[in-house]
Homo-oligomer: A and B are copies of this chain.
């Protein structure tokens, strides 16, 4: 394992709110729950990888006025500035999936190669009616908005090259993507091995919170119930196998206990 110099930064992108039934399927509680939205910067010898980019506040304001809370600092440019970087320094943007609260900042990373699961690009390109709201922000790839065939553009989209993957992959030394579908068709979770601590396993929306894990509750939004439960189980197995620490995607309490940028894990 030669991840000696790898650093992981948690980037604070603000917060949004959803009804408890959207977060805890079949459980609730009823009423709005506010949750953090964050990204993960992996400073690696092979590049600067950004996993998820939060939401675009203007877009969410148009969708659900008053829902998004985001200071100027809580954007991709603002958070990268905390660690002395600019968006054009990002070499790779990885999206767990293309929902609006995970992809809104992609467009800032003009020079990055975008990495996602093959099925996720297909789903976002041609969403079923009930998926359209989740995939509403395609600012990172505006040619997808017309429902046009993405292959017609080759690998080139608006600001980025998209590289699609399938299967579990080690995309750089100590940097693993694990297929965790169900919330969306092509969802990936990310594990980062570090020299000085346990691996960090970023669940993405395959596990919203500690409660989701403990009580075996999947997200209200999903495309496949069985897959979503299977992915939650897969995360449990991965955490056990690799002695990895799970980082949930939208856990307000857990977020309070983590170290946001400019602090880092190494």
Query: Could you list which residues of chain A lie within 8 angstroms of chain B, going by C-beta atoms?
Result: 19, 21-22, 25-26, 28, 30-32, 128-130, 133, 216, 218, 220-226, 229
Contacts and interface: CB of A to CB of B under 8 A. Distances in A.
Contact of A19 (B21, B128, B216, B223): B21
A224 B224 CA distance: 6
Given A25-B130, A26-B221, A220-B220, 12 more contacts: A19-B28, A21-B220, A26-B133, A30-B30, A30-B31, A31-B31, A130-B225, A130-B229, A222-B225, A223-B226, A224-B226, A225-B225
Nearest to A133: B26
Q: Specify how many copies of this chain sit in the oligomer.
A: 2
Contacts of A223: 225-226
A130 to B, nearest CB: 6
Nearest first, the 8 A-B pairs at minimum CB distance are A21-B21, A19-B30, A30-B30, A30-B31, A19-B21, A223-B225, A19-B28, A26-B130
A164 B67 CA distance: 49
Nearest to A128: B229
Contacts of A28: 19, 21
A236 to B, nearest CB: 14
Contact of A32 (B25, B30, B220): B30
13 contacts: A19-B28, A21-B22, A25-B220, A26-B221, A30-B30, A30-B31, A30-B32, A128-B229, A129-B216, A130-B216, A130-B225, A223-B225, A224-B226
A63 B223 CA distance: 29
Contacts of A226: 223-224
A174 to B, nearest CB: 35
Most chain B beta-carbon contacts within 10 A, residue among A22, A223, A226: A22
A87 to B, nearest CB: 32
Contacts of A229: 128, 130
